[in-house]
Amino acid sequence: MPPKKKQPAAAGGSKPKAGASTKKPGAAGGSKKAVGSSVNANAIAGPSSGDGEGPAKLKAANAVNVRHILCEKHSRATEALEKIRAGERFDKVATEYSEDKAKAGGSLGWQSRGSMVGPFQDAAFALQVSTVDRPVMPPGGLVKTNFGYHIIMVEGRR
């Protein structure tokens, strides 16, 4: 009887409907799986601490209302990150430090999945919603893309 007991809990197995472990309906079981093809929340933010702060509470989203600070140099991005961690508002730091068109508070508005560069998109969709005076940022704070170093926060998900 050995072949029956193997029920994969990983994402992407090729067993169709064998164990009903991929249930998504909103009843009693906060599934960590996003509707999309990737599991970015766990890959970027790591497992939840159970503290109410972690990717386990994220719902699948097709768009995020995102702000960012873009700096070409790592040292400048780190300096901006330190100011935010010291308690300065995200939008004020963005106005002072960001080197792109979103200089007005860092707002990029609503961005849909597929409209952002890979690492930026992965980080944005893995973040919890937060406010400019108490931003939730990616672990490590900085996200590197071909444009430079980003500090990202999300104000809404839909």
Do the domain assignments include residue 2? no
Q: Total structural domains in the chain?
A: 1
Q: Which domain holds residue 122?
A: 63-157
Do the domain assignments include residue 96? yes
The encoded tokens of residue 154 equal: 């999300």
- Predicted TM-score (pTM) of this structure: 0.64
In whole angstroms, how far apart are CA 74 and each of 87, 92, 103, 156? 20, 19, 18, 27
Do the domain assignments include residue 46? no
Q: Report the pLDDT value the prediction gives residue 6, as an integer from 0 to 100.
A: 42
- For 22-147, strand residue ranges (E) read 63-71, 107-112, 143-145
Cβ atoms < 10 Å from Cβ of 128: 16
Are residues 135 and 69 in contact, defined by beta-carbon separation less than 8 angstroms?
no
Do the domain assignments include residue 100? yes
pLDDT by residue for the chain (158 residues), tens only, comes to: 444 444 444 444 444 444 444 443 343 443 333 333 333 333 333 333 333 444 446 778 899 999 999 999 999 999 999 999 999 999 999 999 999 977 679 999 999 999 999 999 999 999 999 999 999 999 999 999 999 999 999 999 99
Q: Report the pLDDT value the prediction gives residue 103, as an integer from 0 to 100.
A: 67
The encoded tokens of residue 53 equal: 């702060």
For 90, phi then psi, to 5°, come to -55, -45
The encoded tokens of residue 130 equal: 């937060």
Q: Report the pLDDT value the prediction gives residue 104, as an integer from 0 to 100.
A: 78
Do the domain assignments include residue 75? yes
Do the domain assignments include residue 35? no
CATH, residue 82: 3.10.50.40
Q: Report the pLDDT value the prediction gives residue 98, as an integer from 0 to 100.
A: 95
Q: Report the pLDDT value the prediction gives residue 11, as an integer from 0 to 100.
A: 44
